[in-house]
Amino acid sequence: MPRMKNPNPHEIVVQTKVNYLADQSDEAANRYVFAYTITINNIGTQAAKLLSRHWVITDSNNQVQEVRGQGVVGEQPLLKPKQSFEYTSGTVLATDVGTMRGSYQFQAEDGEEFDAPVHEFVLSVPRVLH
């Protein structure tokens, strides 16, 4: 009989949603403001505390901003198994299209530290990309 795979004790899934904020942007001045909502889901078997974040934000001129910091929106949430945490933040680009990717650093209740990747997602003014 095949052995069942043990669930990963440290497994975080990150979902992203982006909104272009036209009312805060100034396209004539190359200022494009985006809000992004992040949902962080703990699908592992252990509680994990979000310690820090690392973002790589790239505009279509290949200008890169790296952002590192503790927690998210001033918090370091503890996510129990099957729990999620959602927050909204924002970024400003000098172009109407860009990308973000990064990771969150966690510490599990067993003391192990691990990263949860955030796969690249697109920041785009509506109707710019088809």
Q: Is residue 2 part of a domain?
A: no
Q: Is residue 41 part of a domain?
A: yes
Q: Is residue 42 part of a domain?
A: yes
Q: What residues have CB less than 8 Å from 39, skipping those under 6 apart?
A: 14, 15, 16, 17, 84, 85, 86
pLDDT on residue 8: 77
Domain count, the chain: 1
pLDDT on residue 74: 92
Is 42 exposed, middle or buried (CB count within 10 Å of its CB: 0-12, 13-18, 19+)? buried
> What does pLDDT average to in each consecutive run of 10 residues of the chain (130 residues)?
62 97 97 98 97 98 96 95 97 97 97 96 83
Q: Is residue 17 part of a domain?
A: yes
Structure tokens at 67: 């952002």
Gap between the terminal Cα atoms of the chain: 49
pLDDT on residue 6: 53
pLDDT on residue 7: 62
CATH code for the domain of 85: 2.60.40.1470
pLDDT on residue 127: 82
Full-model pTM: 0.89
Q: Is residue 130 part of a domain?
A: no
Q: Is residue 6 part of a domain?
A: no
